[in-house]
Amino acid sequence: MINQAAEQAPELTEVYQVDAVGLVCPLPILRFKKRTQHLPSGTQVEFLADDPTGRKDLQALCDITGHRIHWIREEGAGVLRYRISLA
Protein backbone atom coordinates (compact mmCIF):
# COMPACT_ATOMS: atom_id res chain seq x y z
CA MET A 1 0.00 0.00 0.00
CA ILE A 2 2.86 2.38 0.63
CA ASN A 3 3.93 2.08 -3.02
CA GLN A 4 0.41 2.86 -4.23
CA ALA A 5 0.31 6.01 -2.09
CA ALA A 6 3.69 7.08 -3.42
CA GLU A 7 2.50 6.53 -7.00
CA GLN A 8 -0.60 8.64 -6.37
CA ALA A 9 1.31 11.52 -4.73
CA PRO A 10 2.38 13.19 -8.01
CA GLU A 11 -1.28 13.53 -9.03
CA LEU A 12 -2.04 15.29 -5.76
CA THR A 13 0.79 17.75 -6.23
CA GLU A 14 0.18 18.46 -9.93
CA VAL A 15 -0.12 22.19 -10.49
CA TYR A 16 -1.71 23.96 -13.45
CA GLN A 17 0.22 27.06 -14.55
CA VAL A 18 -1.14 30.30 -16.01
CA ASP A 19 1.49 32.73 -17.31
CA ALA A 20 0.32 36.34 -17.65
CA VAL A 21 3.76 37.97 -17.58
CA GLY A 22 3.88 40.98 -19.89
CA LEU A 23 0.11 41.54 -19.86
CA VAL A 24 -1.43 44.65 -18.30
CA CYS A 25 -4.75 45.16 -16.53
CA PRO A 26 -7.30 43.73 -17.11
CA LEU A 27 -5.67 41.04 -19.28
CA PRO A 28 -3.88 39.03 -16.52
CA ILE A 29 -7.13 38.42 -14.62
CA LEU A 30 -9.05 37.71 -17.81
CA ARG A 31 -6.42 35.14 -18.82
CA PHE A 32 -6.59 33.53 -15.37
CA LYS A 33 -10.41 33.31 -15.56
CA LYS A 34 -10.41 31.89 -19.08
CA ARG A 35 -7.71 29.29 -18.44
CA THR A 36 -9.21 28.07 -15.15
CA GLN A 37 -12.96 28.24 -15.82
CA HIS A 38 -13.30 24.53 -16.68
CA LEU A 39 -10.85 23.16 -14.10
CA PRO A 40 -12.31 21.23 -11.17
CA SER A 41 -12.63 22.59 -7.66
CA GLY A 42 -9.49 22.06 -5.61
CA THR A 43 -7.15 22.36 -8.60
CA GLN A 44 -3.86 23.98 -7.63
CA VAL A 45 -2.86 26.83 -9.96
CA GLU A 46 0.36 28.80 -10.17
CA PHE A 47 -0.31 32.21 -11.65
CA LEU A 48 2.58 34.37 -12.85
CA ALA A 49 2.07 38.07 -13.44
CA ASP A 50 4.07 41.28 -13.43
CA ASP A 51 1.21 43.79 -13.66
CA PRO A 52 1.48 46.23 -10.72
CA THR A 53 -2.29 46.04 -10.04
CA GLY A 54 -2.36 42.25 -10.39
CA ARG A 55 -2.19 41.46 -6.68
CA LYS A 56 -5.19 43.64 -5.83
CA ASP A 57 -7.17 42.40 -8.85
CA LEU A 58 -6.43 38.73 -8.12
CA GLN A 59 -7.45 39.15 -4.47
CA ALA A 60 -10.73 40.75 -5.58
CA LEU A 61 -11.39 37.86 -7.98
CA CYS A 62 -10.67 35.32 -5.23
CA ASP A 63 -12.99 37.16 -2.83
CA ILE A 64 -15.79 36.93 -5.40
CA THR A 65 -15.20 33.34 -6.56
CA GLY A 66 -14.04 31.72 -3.33
CA HIS A 67 -10.63 30.75 -4.74
CA ARG A 68 -7.89 30.74 -2.09
CA ILE A 69 -4.43 32.28 -2.43
CA HIS A 70 -2.02 30.04 -0.49
CA TRP A 71 1.13 32.09 -1.03
CA ILE A 72 2.77 34.78 -3.13
CA ARG A 73 6.46 34.75 -4.08
CA GLU A 74 8.61 37.30 -5.85
CA GLU A 75 10.42 35.73 -8.78
CA GLY A 76 12.51 38.74 -9.81
CA ALA A 77 12.08 41.32 -12.59
CA GLY A 78 8.76 42.31 -11.00
CA VAL A 79 7.19 38.88 -11.54
CA LEU A 80 5.00 37.48 -8.77
CA ARG A 81 4.11 33.77 -8.51
CA TYR A 82 0.81 33.00 -6.79
CA ARG A 83 -0.34 29.55 -5.63
CA ILE A 84 -4.11 29.38 -5.77
CA SER A 85 -6.60 26.66 -4.94
CA LEU A 86 -9.73 26.87 -7.06
CA ALA A 87 -13.12 26.91 -5.34
**Looking at 21, 25, 30, 79, which residue is catalytic?**
25
User: Is 25 a known active-site residue?
Assistant: yes
DSSP letters, the chain, are: -HHHHHHHHHHHH-EEEEE-TT--TTHHHHHHHHHHTTSPTT-EEEEEE--TTHHHHHHHHHHHH--EEEEEEEEETTEEEEEEE--
Active site residues: 25
